[in-house]
Amino acid sequence: MADILDKAVRIGLGLEKKAKEALQELEAAGKAATDERTAAGTQGQGLTAKQVVENKVVEDAVKVLKDLLEAITSGKERFEKEAQATSERVMEKLNVPTRTEVDVIKEMARISREKTDLLERRVEELERRFSEGR
């Protein structure tokens, strides 16, 4: 079960990374096209119909990828929250102690060991006194 969840999270992270890379490439292409338009505009040249269509396609692709990236990110967050809630419910049903509860138990055990050691030393001292007094 944990392997499946781990793989799902990795797939989500991989999709998010790929979408970000594609978005950056498209934004770079759009910026280059804008720079070309600016340079062409200063030289008195207009855009061809092909360039206008290409620019529109790049802008639309950037918008679609941004939307996809948002969907992937929100899906990943929802999945992580749901996985966390599910694992907490399973742990609760199995009566598995939380990290805080384990830490409290460890501290109680440490205090108990200290008290036991102290009591053992006192008993040894009392036994020694008792045997000397006889």
Q: What is the pLDDT of residues 9-65, one digit of tens each?
A: 666 667 667 777 777 777 777 677 666 666 655 443 567 777 777 778 878 888 888
Residue 9: burial class (beta carbons within 10 Å; 0-12, 13-18, 19+): middle
Please state the domain extents for the chain.
Answer: 2-96, 97-134
DSSP 43: T
Q: What is the pLDDT of residues 58-107, one digit of tens each?
A: 788 888 888 888 888 888 889 889 999 999 899 989 999 889 999 999 99
Contact between 22 and 86 (Cβ < 8 Å): no
Q: Which residue has the tokens 């490439």?
A: 25
